Amino acid sequence: MSEQNRLGVFKTYKLYVGGKFPRSESGRVYEVTDSKGAWLANVPQSSRKDARDAVVAARKAFGGWSGATAYNRGQVLYRVAEMLEGRKEQFAREVAASEGLSKSKAAAVVDAAIDRWVWYAGWTDKIGQISGGANPVAGPFFNLSTPEPTGVVAVLAPQKSSLLGLVSVIAPVIATGNTAVVIASADAPLPALSLGEVLATSDVPGGVVNILSGATAELAAPLAAHQDVNAIDLTGAGAELAKELEIAAADNLKRVLRPLPAEADGPDPSTDWLAAPGTHRLTAFLETKTVWHPTGALGASGSSY
C-alpha cells in the first residue's frame, strides 16, 4: 500500500489506574481540542467509580512504596526521567498542541519536566535530614523526630501547565513515599495520560500513581470527601471549588495544600512553573514521628517511648 493511501493509526488514550490502562467504567468520552479548536483526541471521562477504584489502588500500593528505601525511590524517579527523555519528541508535540506553544518552547518545557524528575529524585534521601533530627530535651532521653509519608494524596493538576506543572505536583508526592490519585487538566489531559505509559515502564509500582481524566469538579468532590484519602492538593482548583473541597476534606481532617500565588491558575500571565520549586511540596505531605529513648542505665534494655 502506498504512503498516500495509508490510513493513520489514531492513539487511544486511556486512564492509568493500578498499573493498568482501563477505559472509564462509565463508557463516556469527551473531545480534546488544541488551542485553535481543532480536534486532537477523544479521552475517557472518568466517573466517581473510577475515582474510588484509583483510591483502592493507591492504598494497596502505599505499604510497599512507603516501605521502600529513600534511595530506591530516588532510583525509580530517575528512571522516569530516563524514559521521558527517550520520548521527548512525542511529549513536545502533545505539549505544543495542548498549550499552543511553538515547537522550541514546547521542547524546553519537556526538558524542564525531565529535569524536575531528576531534581526530586535527588531529594528522596535528603529530605529527612532537613525535616527531622535530634531535639534537645531536659532529662536523660534521646528525642528523635523523623518524617513519614501521609498516605494517599489526591492531586488536582494545574489546568494550564499540562506537563511541567503536572510533574511538579506528582513528583514530590511520590518522592516522599506517598501514593497519588491525579486528576489531569480537563482541557489538556493528553500529556498526563501519556505520562501514565512512561510510569508503567519506569519501575514505578502499579498504584503508586493513578491518573484520571475528565471534569475536575466531578472527580475532586468524591476524593475530597473520601475517608481513605489522607490529603489533597488543590493546585488545579479554582477559588470557589477549592473552598468546597476544603470543607469536604475537613470531615476526616485531611491535609490540604493550597497553591502558592505563583502556582495558582488564573488570569495572571506571570504564572511560571519553570521557577525553582523549593522544598515546600516535599514537606507538605509528611507527618513527623517523635521517639523518646532513655539514656544511661535506663537505656540498657533498649526501651523506647
Per-residue pLDDT reduced to its tens digit, 96-113:
999 999 999 999 999 999
Give the whole-angstrom CA distance, residue 131 versus residue 282.
10
* Residue 234 burial by Cβ neighbours in a 10 Å radius (0-12, 13-18, 19+): buried
- Which pLDDT does position 7 carry in this prediction? 76
Handedness of CA 66, 70, 72, 73 (dihedral sign): positive
**Position 143 confidence tier, pLDDT thresholds 50, 70, 90:** low
Looking at the predicted structure, is the pLDDT value of residue 52 above 50?
A: yes
Give the whole-angstrom CA distance, residue 144 versus residue 160.
42
Looking at the predicted structure, is the pLDDT value of residue 120 above 50?
A: yes
Per-residue pLDDT reduced to its tens digit, 241-287:
999 999 999 988 899 998 766 555 543 333 579 888 889 999 999 98
- Per domain, the residue ranges of the chain are 42-265+273-300
Give the whole-angstrom CA distance, residue 85 versus residue 95.
15
* 293: its cell numbers: 529513648
**Position 146 confidence tier, pLDDT thresholds 50, 70, 90:** confident
Give the whole-angstrom CA distance, residue 291 versus residue 305.
6
Give the whole-angstrom CA distance, residue 211 versus residue 249.
20
282 contacts 176 by C-beta, under 8 angstroms: yes
**Could you give the 3-state DSSP secondary structure of residue 152?**
strand
> Which residue bears the cell 515547537?
103
246 contacts 221 by C-beta, under 8 angstroms: no
* Residue 2 burial by Cβ neighbours in a 10 Å radius (0-12, 13-18, 19+): exposed
* 213: its cell numbers: 481524566
The average pLDDT across 8-23 equals 92
Query: 163-172, 203-212, 289-298: which has the minimum mean pLDDT?
Result: 289-298
- Which pLDDT does position 94 carry in this prediction? 96
Give the whole-angstrom CA distance, residue 73 versus residue 141.
32
Collect all residues with Cβ–Cβ distance below 8 Å to 84 and sequence separation of at least 6.
91, 110, 113, 114, 117, 195, 198
- Which pLDDT does position 302 carry in this prediction? 47
Looking at the predicted structure, is the pLDDT value of residue 84 above 60?
A: yes
- Which pLDDT does position 11 carry in this prediction? 87
Looking at the predicted structure, is the pLDDT value of residue 293 above 50?
A: yes
- Which pLDDT does position 35 carry in this prediction? 84
* 243: its cell numbers: 473552598
- Which pLDDT does position 8 carry in this prediction? 76
Q: Looking at the chain, which runs of residues are DSSP E strands?
A: 29-33, 39-44, 133-134, 141-149, 152-156, 179-183, 209-212, 231-233, 255-257, 286-294
Give the whole-angstrom CA distance, residue 185 versus residue 165.
10
Query: How far lies 260's CA from each of 233, 265, 277, 288, in Å?
Result: 11, 10, 11, 23
Question: φ, ψ for residue 44 (rounded to 5)?
Answer: -65, 140
The average pLDDT across 68-80 equals 97
For the beta carbon of residue 204, count every other beta carbon within 10 angstroms. Answer: 22
pTM above 0.85, yes or no: yes
* Average model confidence (pLDDT) across the chain: 89
The average pLDDT across 52-81 equals 97
- Which pLDDT does position 300 carry in this prediction? 47
Looking at the predicted structure, is the pLDDT value of residue 292 above 60?
A: yes
**Could you give the 3-state DSSP secondary structure of residue 109?**
helix
- Which pLDDT does position 174 carry in this prediction? 98
96 contacts 34 by C-beta, under 8 angstroms: no
Compute the half-sphere exposure of residue 219: CA atoms within 13 Å on the CB side of its CA.
Answer: 33
Higher pLDDT residue, 195 or 261? 195
Give the whole-angstrom CA distance, residue 29 versus residue 26.
9
Give the whole-angstrom CA distance, residue 107 versus residue 163.
11
- Which pLDDT does position 270 carry in this prediction? 37
The CATH class that applies to domain 42-265+273-300 reads alpha beta
